[in-house]
Amino acid sequence: MRVGRSYGVTCLVALALLGAACTSPAAVSTTTSSPVTTIASTAWVPVAYGDAQLSVPANWYVLYGQPPCPVGQPPGELFVNPAPGVYHCPAETGHGPFSVVDLEALARTENAGRKVFTINGITVREATAPTNTYLVRSLGAQVTVDGPLGLGVLHTLARAPRVSVLATAGPARVPSSWHRIAFAGVSIAAPSSWSVMRANSYGPDCSALQQVEFGLPSVVLDTDERIIFPPCPYLPPYQRPQTAGEGLRIDKLTIYPPVARTEFRNCLRINGLSTCPAASPGYSILVLRVEGPTLSKPVYISIGLGGNGGIARTILHSLRTS
């Protein structure tokens, strides 16, 4: 949880330097319902964390797991799962960002206020502290907003595709056009148009989005026989919001993408296999540990959560022993 920035939460230093007025989110209804802000432009991109999803303009920057210090890029920045602690952020230079939004896990000690409203059918409660923070208990998330577009981003709140993919309702029907792939003791279905690639190594790659998205839709089957550490150039911790991609990866021995010190919980029983999703980082790739009586070691499966999650759900529920 972000404890706080060194400057006030309700007003960015950059706005003060520009002479802009600092305002509170008075536009949010304090009743049990709130008008839903409709984003007419298609240039807004959904960004997921855990069970929650927000959409931001395509020209914003998104920072994953970083200290919540704005890098000064107008018109806005979204911090997803910001690093915990108190940071003495330097004052921004230039002309931005104008809006900053944090999307993070719900704090264990909730400072819930009396103001309750709904966004897209989801109950939201305004927190008494930190200022401009909104608690979404049903999705295990909280959102902190600053700047003129902060409330507009808040009103795009939705359930992330992960919710429908992991729902306990009946399994999805596998289309007849799909093909079935057997590897590492498991069998799983995928669209026939996806290419199948084989690999024998694991290790970090150079992409800042390796826990967020796949490249082109494909299937990767990795034996994880050797580890590699490629030389990577410096990459800034921020990037434009990316539409989540679809894809499938099966790792025989290790986890991909690398998920350090995570827990696997809320396990599902799928065709006799114990299928446990990783608790973190919870971005747009669903990482699962699969165990079963015929498997000598856990198998790790990664599924891209693109679109509404329909393809990912079908892939998941097609899982069985080979």
Q: Do the Cβ atoms of 267 and 276 come closer than 8 Å? A: yes
What sign does the CA torsion over 123, 126, 128, 131 have?
A: positive
Given 130, 159, 188, the domain boundary residue is 159
- How would residue 13 be classed by pLDDT, with cut points 50, 70 and 90? very low
- How would residue 21 be classed by pLDDT, with cut points 50, 70 and 90? very low
Residues 138 and 173 in one domain: no
Taking only the tens place, the pLDDT of each residue in 165-213 is 999 877 789 999 999 999 999 999 999 999 999 999 877 666 666 667 7
Q: How far is CA 269 from the centre of its chain?
A: 24
Given 159, 178, 196, the domain boundary residue is 159
- Mean residue pLDDT of the chain comes to 82
Taking only the tens place, the pLDDT of each residue in 93-132 is 555 678 999 999 998 776 777 899 999 999 999 998 888 9
Residues 187 and 229 in one domain: yes
- State how far the Cα of 82 lies from the Cα of 89, in Å rounded to an integer: 13
Residues 143 and 207 in one domain: no
Residues 255 and 190 in one domain: yes
Residue 9 falls in which region: left (phi positive, over 0), alpha (psi -120 to 50) or beta: alpha
Residues 126 and 212 in one domain: no
Q: Which range among 4-13, 18-27, 225-234 shows the weakest confidence by mean pLDDT? A: 18-27
Average pLDDT over residues 269-295: 92
Residues 140 and 193 in one domain: no
Residues 152 and 61 in one domain: yes
Given 102, 127, 159, the domain boundary residue is 159
Please state the domain count of the chain: 2
3-class secondary structure, 224: strand
Residues 219 and 98 in one domain: no
Residues 41 and 134 in one domain: yes
Whole-structure pTM over 0.85, yes or no?
A: no
Residues 208 and 151 in one domain: no
Residue 67 has pLDDT above 70, yes or no: yes
* Residue 57 belongs to domain spanning: 2-159
Residues 290 and 195 in one domain: yes
Residues 35 and 177 in one domain: no
Peptide bond connecting 231 to the previous residue in cis, omega within 30 degrees of 0: no
DSSP-derived secondary structure letter, 150: H
